[in-house]
Amino acid sequence: MNFISRDTDYAWRALMFMAKNAGEGVVTVDEIVQEEYLPERFLRRIVQKLAKKGILVSHKGKKGGFSFAKSPGKISLIDIIKVFQGNVDFTNCLLKGKVCPNVKKCALRRKLQSISKTVDKELRGITIMSLLKGS
């Protein structure tokens, strides 16, 4: 059972690489691929998605590439997880496809929601910048 998917992982590494090596500047996918040994076409799709979601800016044409749309200090792991894995849901109690009639008073659900909040907060605190400094 994996919490972090491959896309999220690769995206994070690409972002870390960009922050470390280019700062505000533009980086091409090829550069990332060469340094991080990630599958090229797959990474292309990943950074394209990051651009669509407003985390990177894409620059087409010669001398193009990608740069940050937000400062690396404002990009947290929860943002990237949401891009590739959707909302993290610790409490998906279902009843044959319908919402459980129990939702409101279910004690398990309440507990899980509280854990969910904690995790969310922790993930929110992990930013590209913080890891760059902290490692």
62 is a site residue for DNA (CB under 7 A)? yes
Q: Tell the smallest beta-carbon distance from residue 133 to DNA (Å).
A: 26
For residue 58, the surrounding DSSP H or E stretch is strand 56-59
98 is a site residue for DNA (CB under 7 A)? no
Tell me whether residue 21 or residue 52 sits nearer to ligand FES (CB atom): 21
Distance CA 100, CA 79 (A): 29
Q: In this chain, which stretch among 14-22, 63-71, 74-82, 100-108 interacts with DNA, using CB under 7 A?
A: 63-71
Burial of residue 55 (number of CB atoms within 10 Å: 0-12, 13-18, 19+): buried
89 is a site residue for a second copy (CB under 8 A)? yes
Tell me whether residue 13 or residue 130 sits nearer to DNA (CB atom): 13
Tell me whether residue 62 or residue 96 sits nearer to ligand FES (CB atom): 96
Strand partners, 67: 57
Note whether 81 and 7 are within 8 A (CB).
Answer: no
Distance CA 42, CA 7 (A): 8
Residues 6+ apart with CB under 8 A from 28: 64, 65, 66
Binding residues for a second copy, rule: CB under 8 A, are 1-4, 6, 9, 12, 37-39, 77, 81, 85-96, 105-108, 111-112, 115-116, 118-119, 122-123, 126, 131, 134-135
- What are the residues binding DNA (CB under 7 A)? 1-2, 5-7, 28-30, 39-42, 44-45, 47-48, 51-52, 58-66, 85, 96
